[in-house]
Amino acid sequence: MKYLFNIGVWVSVFLSLFVSATIAWAANNSIYITQSGTALTMNIDQIGNSNVVGTTGTRATFTGSTITVDVDQTGDSNTIAATVAQGNNTSFTVNTTGDSNVSSIIGGGSGDIAGTDFDYAATGDSNVLTFVQGASAAATSGNQDFAVTGTSNDVNVRCEVVGCVNSWTVSGNSNDIDTTQTGNANHSITGVITGNSNNIDVDQTNTGGSTTGILSIIATTSSGTIDIDQCTSGC
């Protein structure tokens, strides 16, 4: 199944088995998606400026297991606001190339999303990502990979998951990376930072007593700050 649109569109997809959807178009268009079912593969490609995949008021919503979503935006001032509401073994990938793009992803909006994998790559300046998993509903196990190349990008990650694994690579200047991991399980963060005046803030809270928080950062940078807090409650 293939969808090809050239203007702003509302897409409502109710799927039960093995469906693939590809959506692509140019500048200043909007996509609104409500999806429910299993075994979905969806690819969204937007080239141009001021394109939208969901908004803060009307988010693109995905519900079901074994879902793969890939969003590629090339241009400036594009927006993604998406929620993976419930379901296991979900893969969500966002690639942005350009400046002043804003992405907001919520994992576990209404239920557990065990075994999720989220990948974010931004190339450009002044891009913003907000990623939250497990704040609205319980979540077990989650892997997040973040790659940022450019200047003055802002990445905010909050992972309230039983066993959260973060990996991020930052290359450029004056980027801000804020990562918070909470929950009753082992958490880990691996980071590689290259550039100047980058600011890294890490909070790891393990409430399970014997559980551990693991952090590994390799930094080649000057004039930046790295702030690390590891605790058993309320970092």
φ, ψ dihedrals at 66, nearest 5°: 55, 55
pTM for this entry: 0.84
Q: How do residues 10-69 score in pLDDT, each as one tens digit? A: 444 444 334 455 555 556 888 999 988 888 899 999 999 999 999 988 999 998 888 899
Query: Rounded to a whole number, what is the distance in angstroms from the first to the last CA of the chain?
Result: 47
Beta strand pairing call for 187-196 and 213-222: parallel
Q: Which two tokens stand for residue 80?
A: 């993604």
Q: Which residues contact 40 (CB under 8 A, 6 or more apart)?
A: 13, 15, 19, 20, 21, 62, 64, 66, 67, 68, 69
CA distances from 22 to 11, 70, 131, 187 (A): 12, 10, 24, 35
Q: How do residues 85-125 score in pLDDT, each as one tens digit? A: 887 888 999 999 999 999 999 887 777 777 788 999 999 99
